Structure 1
Amino acid sequence: MLKTCAKHLTNNYGTMRCLSMQPSHMNIFDRNAKRLQKERAALNTDVALYDYLKEEVGFRLSDRVFDIKREFKTAADIGCNRGYISKHILAECVEHLTLTDTSASMLEQAQGTPGLRMSKLVQDEEQLDFEENSMDLIISSLSLHWVNDLPGCFARIKRSLKPDGVFIASLFGGDTLYELRSSLQLAELERKGGIAPHVSPFTQIRDIGSLLNRAGFTMLTIDTDEIVIGYPSMFELMWDLKGMAENNAAFNRPAHLSRETLMAASAIYKELYSKPNEEGVPATFQIIYLVGWKPGPNQPQPLPRGTADVSLKDLGNIFEKGGKIKIDAES
């Protein structure tokens, strides 16, 4: 009886130990494959032809940095690619900018504005190694959607920021390339009787706020934008995605896509999504923009509960009279 109990306890201990060693996230993306894709794209002689989307999003994200009326002494651009943010950041706004990326070739091609002090570091976004409380600003443009451990990445970013530091980023949202995804699925279902993941999964906007809150960020701002780009056909879209290094990098991606499935998908794409009497097909890119602040002593704080002048139900009457009030959200 004692031997049986001891064996049972030993087995339970071994089980609990194995469970404790399980990773807290699922590895969906092959980070090494993504690094190789970026290297191949960077070494392409016409790499600049495929910068149009990332250039536009980088410019829009840089504009959000300018909206913060503060001079940042230390900043980092993680997953900088070919420097789509650094070429818009002014020296008057950021004193020193650290660029990081997994691709050494892309990192080498990144340039900054005149007078901007920069340093470059080959580093994976999943393994950030900045000193604690060392950064005033961390930026990332269209890179974090390839990170497996997004909660851990957000936590490391918050750790690297100084108190009252800010994190500003953009990433592709869940509706990105829904036309391509559905066309490939319908074609493969028709030709093969099943579907495979030919387009990588993207983060849903409803999850971003929860992940930022979980990491400890405050004063969150999250919004989305849609950029619709026209292509002559589905094949030009897929070619451009490869040139951007945005082709599929999921571990379970199929190694081959048959010619007949591609031709069927192209026909379905045109039939379902092209506008009448117009050539070409549209492709939708949903961009999620986020801003989060590390808690600090100088940040605005909510008023103590119970200090309101009126109830929320009286807001309509107050606004009609043009009055100034304090609001109690619990009223």
Structure 2
Amino acid sequence: MFTALLASRRATPCIHRQTRLYAAVSASSPINPHTVGPYRIFDRHAKRRQKDRSALREAGVRSRTVDYVRDEVADRMIERLLDIKRKFSSILDVGSGPGHFSKLLESQTTDKVVMLDSSEHLLCRDPDSDFEVEVERIHADEESLLNVIPPNSQEAIVSCLSLHWINDLPGILVQIKEALQPDGVFLGALFGGDTLFELRTSLQLAEMEREGGISPHISPMADSRDVSNLLGRAGFTLLTVDVDEVKVAYPSMWELMEDLRDMGESNAVIGRRNYIHRDTLAAASAIYKELHENEDGSIPATFQVIYVIGWKPSPKQPKPLERGTAEMNLKEIL
């Protein structure tokens, strides 16, 4: 997967897996989609412009060069989808970008993929010939999913690394559940709270030293321990949540920040600073190397990824047996 990248980039991606499973318990207070109000953390207009610029820069060449993280996560997501022994007539890809996940879909899995993204330039970056299945593209804001997707209309919905920029994460999970047909499945991947912790701590220490205070440069992200509860409150059943890591090695912090910009992952927090002093960045780069440098002189960047699977309730789904109906004592088996 990374052959082309290694030939053209100075980054050296190396994959480190660290998986933990979380048992999901349905919460007693489900979310009502008609009462949930958005809490604005991110400037969605700024994020759309960042994604547009990344797709247009050098006619999309730079954007394609830095697809390596999303391509790796999409590859791990497709493995989870293939574990579901079902063929779907259509799959909706929410926050699809140019189709990192959709390009991996085969005719044995689905006949059609519907890609939806807020950035029209990123959505249309790659031609239909790059996809094996039929493609439909919808330019719309992911936060207003039910404005363009009818309720109870989708067999499967996926989202590969876009939900971490949603202001109202509980609300979008409710919208996804409402858009699914009964017994429809949602498969998602989003960045977790430990993503880029090396960069976050280095910038904070540098700002404290040089400017006497800190400001947000890395967006707040969901904690893996809370995601299963959010899915349960949104009304999903048969939940699975697991956590993985993708580690990428860079020569220095400067190349990392350049790649984040070309990915369209620049800071979009409301109230963010529009610039960082050059001497603060230089100090952060030195701190990054001092605290996290690899043996070969490169620096690591950790992307924590939370994978989720949830199903919309249906009478056809398997139900656990009632307590006390077992025919054999577990003590006898052990």
- TM-score after normalising by structure 2: 0.85
1:284 to 291, 302, 307: 302
Distance 2:90 2:155 in 1: 5
**Are residues 228 and 115 of structure 1, via their aligned partners in 2, closer, same or farther at CA, if it must alter by over 3 Å?**
closer
Give, in whole Å, the separation in 2 of the partners of 1:167 and 1:110: 25
Q: Does 1:121 align with 2:138?
A: yes
Conserved? CA contact 1:74–1:134, under 8 Å: no
Structure-2 residue corresponding to 1:220: 239
Paired with 1:105 and 1:25, the residues of 2 have a C-alpha distance of 26
Distance 1:160 1:23, change over 3 A: closer
Tell me the equivalent position of 1:318: 333
Determine the structure 2 residue equivalent to 1:205. 224
Of all paired residues, the percent bearing the same amino acid is: 49
- Give structure 1 stretches of 5+ with no counterpart: 1-21, 320-331
Cα distance, 1:110 vs structure 2 = 4.0
Quick check: 1:57 aligned with 2:70?
Answer: no
The Cα offsets for residues 263-303 of structure 1, whole Å up to 9 and x where unpaired, read as 10000000000134x21110000011000000112211010
Cα distance in 2 between the residues matched to 1:25 and 1:103? 21
Correspondent of 2:249 among 209, 214, 230: 230
Written as runs of structure 1 = structure 2, the 5 A alignment for 1:106-185 is: 106-111=122-127, 115-129=132-146, 130-185=149-204
Residue 304 of structure 1 is matched in structure 2 by 322
- Structure 1 pair 163–111 and aligned structure 2 pair: CA distance change class (3 A): farther
Residue of structure 2 equivalent to 1:14: none
Whichever residue aligns with residue 121 of structure 1, its letter is I
From the superposition, tell whether residues 111 and 173 of structure 1 become closer, same or farther in structure 2 (CA, over 3 Å). Answer: farther
- The alpha carbon displacement at 1:62 in A equals 1.7
1:95 is matched with which residue? 111
Structure 1 residue 95: Cα displacement: 1.6
Structure 1 outlier segments of 4+, above 2 Å? 22-25, 110-115, 308-312
Say if 1:222 and 1:289, in contact at 8 Å, map to a contact too.
yes
Please give the secondary structure, in 1, of the residue aligned with 2:186: strand
Matched residue of 1:128: which SS?
helix
CA distance in 2 between counterparts of 1:44 and 1:83 reads 18
C-alpha displacement of 1:114: 5.4
Letter of the 2:250 counterpart: Y
How many residues were matched structurally?
Answer: 295
- Residue 112 of structure 2 aligns to a residue whose secondary structure is strand
Contact 1:81 1:110 (C-alpha < 8 Å) held by counterparts: no
104-113 or 258-267, which deviates more: 104-113
Alignment of 1:249-268 (within 5 A): 249-268=268-287
Is 1:187 matched up with 2:200?
no
Structure number with larger C-alpha Rg? 1
The CA deviation string for residues 36-61 of structure 1, in whole angstroms up to 9 with x for no partner, is 00000000122211111111111211
Range that drifts further, 63-72 or 263-272: 63-72
- Are the equivalent residues in 1 in contact too, given 2:156–2:180 (CA < 8 A)? yes
Aligned to 2:85, which of 69, 93, 97? 69
Question: 2 CA distance for matches of 1:23 and 1:162?
Answer: 21
Q: TM-score, normalised by structure 1?
A: 0.86
Q: Give the Cα–Cα distance (whole angstroms) in 2 for the partners of residues 55 and 135 of structure 1.
A: 24
What is the SS of the residue equivalent to 1:44?
A: helix
How far residue 92 of structure 1 moved from its aligned partner, in angstroms, is 2.0
Shift of 1:73: 1.1
Q: Cα deviation per residue 1:92-145 (whole Å; 9 max; x = unaligned)?
A: 211221110001111112455655122110011100031111100000000000
- 1:200-235 C-alpha deviation (Å, 9 max, x unpaired): 111110111111001000000000111111000001
Distance in 2 (alpha carbons) for counterparts of 1:115 and 1:100: 18
Amino acid at match of 1:184: L
TM-aligned CA deviation for residue 74 of structure 1: 2.2
